[in-house]
């Protein structure tokens, strides 16, 4: 370690007090142009860089945010994190982050401790709501934490939450298929332990019911988000209900697996059977055929969560004791592509 250059070193070289150097560095107070010059030169010469740890220690602000997420190798988390990072950078925050090995893990205290010990100004909990993985949330616990924004969960009293309207997304997807003349629409859902899955499932059922269409158990299978599970789910669907003329897969990976089965069994897409996915991963536009899908605008979710967190931090800084709370639900957007457009053969016949 090359010996740290400190405020005092600069002060000595410039023949001023440490406080004066501090003033120059932080642009505060009135300083004569002459000394400012001298100090600046000393700073340059010594290559002085302020020590944020010391600064944070006294100012009680670390200008650091923490993100907890899981499954970074998947589309959703990585996109959300990208949005978070960009906004944080813009606002002058440095990011710390931690991955939950299992997103249904409920033993999160060590992670939280590690962040609070490092005096982060705020925390973004970017782990999807799965099973009872929200059970650790208790008011007494939250009270000892910096402000927290929760992502992708059912809004809850006393929490700041940013979520996507998954139900609306599923309705858009299903209604689009209905608009295309499809009547027998299957569903490959995500794992039902996930809140997002249940919401999408509810949206599908709602849209089907509204159109007076059947949504029987035989036309519904549960996947686990992987392409592999989409493949197996589709195989099961084709056995149980060879008459389906459309399938809504609850993410693009499962749609990909399902598309493969359609090809393998000699079905034409979209003539014989149409497909819609969810997420709008970049590859979806190049599936065979290009996939209609629902974009969640996840990087907006990340971005927004940082803005909200920033507000909460400022509020607490101002010593406001009331823990105000903010909830935002973003609307997803349907992207229409070939996998679902075109007139189904059955209707023409």
Q: Is residue 23 a contact point for DNA (CB under 7 A)?
A: yes
> Which x/- pattern, by CB under 8 A, does the window 216-255 give for a second copy?
----------xxx-xx---------------------x--
Q: Which does 240 bind (CB under 5 to 8 A by kind): DNA, a second copy, none?
A: none
Among a second copy, DNA, none, the one that 31 touches (CB under a kind-dependent 5 to 8 A) is DNA
Among 12, 22, 145, 272, contact with DNA (rule: CB under 7 A): 22
**E-strand stretches of the chain:** 64-69, 94-99, 122-125, 148-151, 160-164, 185-189, 220-222, 246-249, 274-276, 293-295, 327-330, 333-335
Residue in 27, 30, 135, 282 binding DNA, rule: CB under 7 A:
30
Q: Is 323 exposed, middle or buried (0-12, 13-18, 19+ CB in 10 A)?
A: middle
- The torsion angles phi and psi of 252, rounded to 5 degrees, stand at -70, -35
Q: Does 263 bind a second copy (CB under 8 A)?
A: yes
For 199, the token pair is: 């919401």
| Cβ closest to a second copy, residue 52 vs residue 216 | 52
323's contact among DNA, a second copy, none, with CB below 5 to 8 A by partner kind, is none
The span from the CA of 207 to the CA of 16, in Å, is 73
Token match 């023949």: residue? 15
In order of 64, 313, 314, 317, the CA distances from 321 in angstroms are 22, 12, 12, 10
Residues within the interface to a second copy (CB under 8 A): 1-2, 47, 49-54, 56-57, 60, 62, 64, 72-73, 75, 78-79, 81-82, 85-86, 89, 94-99, 101, 113-119, 143-144, 146, 226-228, 230-231, 253, 256-257, 259-260, 263-264, 282-283, 285-289, 316
């Amino acid at each position: 370690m090359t010996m740290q250059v400190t405020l005092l070193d600069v002060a000595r070289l410039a023949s001023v007090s440490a406080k004066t150097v501090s003033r120059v560095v932080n642009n505060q107070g009135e300083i004569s142009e002459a000394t400012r010059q001298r100090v600046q030169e000393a700073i340059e010469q010594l290559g002085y860089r302020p020590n944020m740890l010391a600064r944070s220690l006294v100012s009680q602000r670390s200008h650091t945010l923490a993100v907890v997420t899981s499954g970074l190798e998947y589309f959703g988390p990585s996109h959300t994190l990208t949005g978070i990072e960009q906004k944080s950078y813009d606002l002058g925050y440095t990011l710390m982050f931690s991955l939950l090995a299992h997103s249904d893990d409920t033993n999160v205290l060590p992670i939280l401790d590690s962040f609070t010990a490092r005096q982060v100004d705020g925390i973004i909990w970017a782990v999807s709501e799965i099973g009872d993985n929200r059970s650790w949330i208790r008011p007494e616990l939250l009270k000892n934490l910096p402000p927290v924004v929760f992502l992708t969960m059912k809004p809850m009293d006393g929490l700041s939450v940013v979520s996507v309207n998954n139900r609306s997304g599923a309705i858009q997807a299903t209604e689009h298929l209905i608009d295309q003349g499809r009547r027998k629409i299957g569903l490959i859902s995500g794992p039902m332990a996930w809140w997002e899955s249940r919401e999408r499932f509810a949206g599908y059922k709602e849209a089907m019911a509204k159109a007076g269409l059947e949504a029987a158990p035989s036309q519904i299978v549960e996947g686990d988000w992987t392409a592999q599970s989409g493949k197996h789910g589709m195989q099961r669907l084709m056995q149980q209900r060879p008459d389906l003329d459309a399938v809504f897969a609850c993410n693009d990976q499962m749609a990909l697996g399902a598309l493969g089965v359609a090809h393998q069994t000699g079905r034409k897409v979209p003539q014989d059977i149409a497909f819609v996915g969810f997420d709008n991963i970049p590859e979806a536009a190049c599936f065979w055929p290009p996939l209609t899908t629902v974009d969640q605008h996840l990087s907006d979710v990340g971005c927004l969560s940082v803005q909200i967190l920033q507000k909460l931090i400022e509020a607490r800084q101002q010593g406001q004791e009331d823990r105000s709370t903010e909830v935002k639900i973003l609307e997803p957007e349907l992207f229409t592509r070939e996998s679902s457009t075109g007139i189904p053969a059955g209707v023409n016949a």
